[in-house]
Structure 1
Amino acid sequence: MNNVIGIVNFHSDPEISPLTDSRPLGSTSFLGRYACCDFALSSFCNSGISTVGILVKDKLRSVLKHLGSMDAWVTNTKIGQEIIMYNEPAHLHPETNTDINNIRENDWVLYDSDASYIVIAPTHIIASIDYRPILAEHIARKDKVTVVACRVADPRKEFLHEALLTVNPSGYVEDVEDNDGSVSSPCLASLGIYIVNRTVLADMIHRYAAKNPTLSLSSLIYAVGREEGSTRPHVYVYDGYVRCIDSFRHYMEYSFELFDEQKGRSLFKDDFPIFTLTHDTQPAIYGKDAKVTNSFIANGAIVEGTVINSIVARNVKIAKTAVVKDSIVFSSTMIGDGATVSNALIDKYSIITRSHKVVGTASSPVYVPQGAIL
């Protein structure tokens, strides 16, 4: 798809403290080997979108560390490219460090490109989306803006602070409201994914963004759509597996639900793989007394103890009499002899010392910060 540019939008990530204190959600580990942004990047790659801009809001080091050379997501090495888009002048001014101002600072995407369409996707939406049929519908309908949404059974419990859409009989957005948890009936929730004709987006930003430097991209799209009927977004309803990481609790819950084979297969498809940064790491090593049940264990881990219903990332060491249950352990962490970790997330480079207990509950998991020694 040489006439399409993809944009991965880190600006729309929710802040999930303390997990995102030192990293954006997009570069946060997921399932022990991926990062959350891998799903947006892989969807572009698998859809044949070979030119991708990556809108980074802050914590640039974490993003660059995960992306590396970015070769994992470029399928066309002759014309494919991924470009970091960072608004350095706005870095110290959070109120104007918006996705729109980032695009204005990196306006090659609007004015130096021959692409006809721009697809913008966030990093906190976990899904594997083929954009080819969505683009085909957008083009066939001659729409200027398409928003991708999904059906939500109970918006009090999911897609919090995302846009809830009211759609008219023709499929266009009639009204938008922020999901504050007060709506109980089934509805459509935006995935924060937009397909916009490049020249239309350039015109929107040129006419409106300078007047309101704190405006976000989603606010701009819906505001212009209300004022100008010709740019009213049409809604494409995606009915595949999709989850919105809007809280620490949901991060944990959606990680563990992928132990379910049916849900796992609906996200990880043989013909639509999820790519990530590759590491030259040996396979996981299991001691003769190791006991592992229903868990994801990444390469490079050394497991000599017991692991149950847990996610263990690269280069984690779990000692012989240690027990890890219903927990997530980030990379390069050590769990000592006799230690117990239950219903917890242990951030990377941490050490849980001999016989120490880190115990939470399913409804209130414990978080151990990066580099902690307990």
Structure 2
Amino acid sequence: MRKGDLAAIIDLNEKDDQIQPLTAARPIGTLPFAGRYRLIDFPLSSLDHANVRSVAIFLPKSGRSVTDHIRSGSTWNMDQITGGIFTYPYMAGRDYEDPQLRARYYDDYLQFLRKSSAQYTIIMGTQNVANVDVDAIVAYHQAGESPVTAVYKNLPETAMQPEDLTLDMTELGTASSVVPASENRGHLKEGKIPAFMDIYLIGTIDLIDLLIDASEAPTFKRLPQIMREAVLQNNANAFEYTGFLAKLNTIQRYYDANMSMLEDQNYQALLYSANSIETKNKNEIPTYFSTESKVTNSLLGTGDFIEGDVNHSILFRNVHIHRDALVDHSIVMQGSKVGTGSSVKYAILDKGVIIGPNLALEGTPEEPLVFAKNQKVFQPDGKGVTARA
């Protein structure tokens, strides 16, 4: 699109109770992914490729990891003289019976939208990892008859959980409502269900009107509820996305989505399709491999030091795998260390985790072990950690 035609809203206050402890100190949006990315990189990259230069990011309780990663937004060409990235403080858990706080909630949205002067606004989340063509969504919206467009991907019913949001589709291919999968009564296509991707497109003037109406209503409604009601009231255009998609709202889904990046077809489809995914650059030394090391079918970040064996795993930056150690079917985040003689299988190690020597840590593909940020493990604990003979 032409610069200035489209503004964007990214709300980082997403439900994360099933992905703890990985989100104890960060929102879902800054979870590391595929060895070097953060989840927020995906919507920001899609917006960059669509020439979007005004983005409002609504911060969670702890916004430090967000601001540290985004900085000026230059990675995604958002460091503009006009427009740019605008961050708004945490408001999701406030007492909205207080009229001043309630007015502030809507005011933040309204001020951003009015100053953007954009014709359209796209609303996005971060827990759906995808490489979305925003220009294609806009073109579809312009050709449609509804003032609202919602984005979905058809997934097998077996891939859905009862609480996952879906689009209830009509025979005409429009969306009549946004409902949990357990309540979807629409017309399914070849046994697949339209998984909603937390993406709406709407005319900016229409969105302003919806927010003003909500601010004057007797019952408080957050933006997600406002938009779901807009789908219901307008029989929204339904744009079908057909690329790679992973929803990362549980530990199991986070683990599985990362492991799927070890399959070249998935890796190329998500990260190197028509639109590339950009992330904050870190100029670091290359990874070191000792003569005794062995690495098989794995993704490794820069600055790693590998003396042991790494198999079917994802290692982020500055990870140290000591001599005679084994990392197998695991995710090891930045700055973590696995001690001499230890084995780590089917596990997720958050940033800065230290595993002592001669330990055996083993989860399962269905229930990987999870170690919280900066956790130190030096002895058996009866929770999948034993001494290695």
Q: Secondary structure at the match of 1:112?
A: helix
Native 8 Å contact 2:317 2:334 kept in 1: yes
Partner of 1:301: 304
Distance in 2, matches of 1:204 and 1:320, equals 60
Tell me if structure 2 keeps the 8 A contact 1:8–1:53.
yes
Aligned partner of residue 215 in structure 1, secondary structure: coil
Report the number of matched residues.
368
* Aligned match of 2:385: none
Match of residue 344, structure 2, among 341, 353, 366 = 341
Give distance in 2, aligned partners of 1:264 and 1:368. Answer: 26
Match of 1:285 in 2: 288
- Percent of matched pairs sharing the same residue: 25
| TM-score after normalising by structure 2 | 0.87
Q: Which residue of 1 is the match for residue 27 of structure 2?
A: 24
Of 269-278 and 299-308, deviating more is 269-278
Residue 358 of structure 1, aligned match among 354, 357, 361 = 361
Aligned to 1:57: 60
- Give the TM-score taking structure 1 as reference length: 0.90
Mapped to 2, the partners of 1:304 and 1:95 lie a distance apart of: 58
Task: Indicate the residue corresponding to 1:12 in structure 2.
Answer: 14
Q: CA 1:100 to 1:338, structure 2 compared with 1: closer, same or farther past 3 Å?
A: farther
Residue in structure 1 matching 2:199, options 189, 193, 208: 193
Structure 1 residue aligned with 2:241, among 235, 238, 241?
238
Kindly provide the CA deviation profile for residues 195-254 of structure 1, in whole angstroms up to 9, marking residues without a partner as x. Answer: 01111111111112453665232321232443x4xx332111111111111211010001
> Cα distance 1:63–1:76, how it changes in 2: closer, same or farther (>3 A)?
closer
User: Where in structure 2 are there 5+ consecutive unaligned residues?
Assistant: 378-389
Q: 1:195 to 1:127 in 2, by over 3 A?
A: same
What SS class does the counterpart of residue 49 from structure 1 fall into? coil
1:64-98 Cα offsets, whole Å, 9 max, x none, are: 1222232111167454511112245x6655999x9
Residue 101 of structure 1 contacts residue 213 of structure 1 at CA under 8 Å; is this kept in 2?
Answer: no
Native 8 Å contact 1:13 1:123 kept in 2: no
Question: Which residue is equivalent to 1:110?
Answer: 113
Q: What 5-or-longer segments of structure 1 have no aligned partner? A: none
Contact 1:52/1:83, CA 8 A, preserved across alignment:
yes
Q: What do the CA deviations read for 1:148-197 (whole angstroms, capped 9, x no partner)?
A: 1111211x433653322222233322243213499995221211100011
Amino acid at match of 1:253: D
User: Does 1:371 find its partner at 2:374?
Assistant: yes
What SS class does the counterpart of residue 320 from structure 1 fall into? coil
Amino acid at match of 1:200: D
User: How many angstroms apart in 2 are the aligned matches of 1:241 and 1:212?
Assistant: 41
2:225 maps to what in 1? 219
Taking the aligned partners of 1:258 and 1:244, their CA distance within structure 2 comes to 14
Q: Please provide the CA RMSD for this pair.
A: 2.6
**3-state SS, counterpart of residue 222 of structure 1:** helix
Which residue of structure 2 lines up, in the alignment, with residue 148 of structure 1? 151
Give, in whole Å, the separation in 2 of the partners of 1:161 and 1:215. Answer: 20
Alpha-carbon distance in 2 for matches of 1:313, 1:146: 37
Alpha-carbon spacing, 1:358–1:50, altered in 2? closer, same or farther (3 Å)? same
2:242 alignment partner, SS class? coil
Question: Distance in 1 between the 2:32 and 2:95 partners?
Answer: 28
Shift of 1:356: 1.7
**Secondary structure, in 3 states, of the residue corresponding to 2:376?**
coil
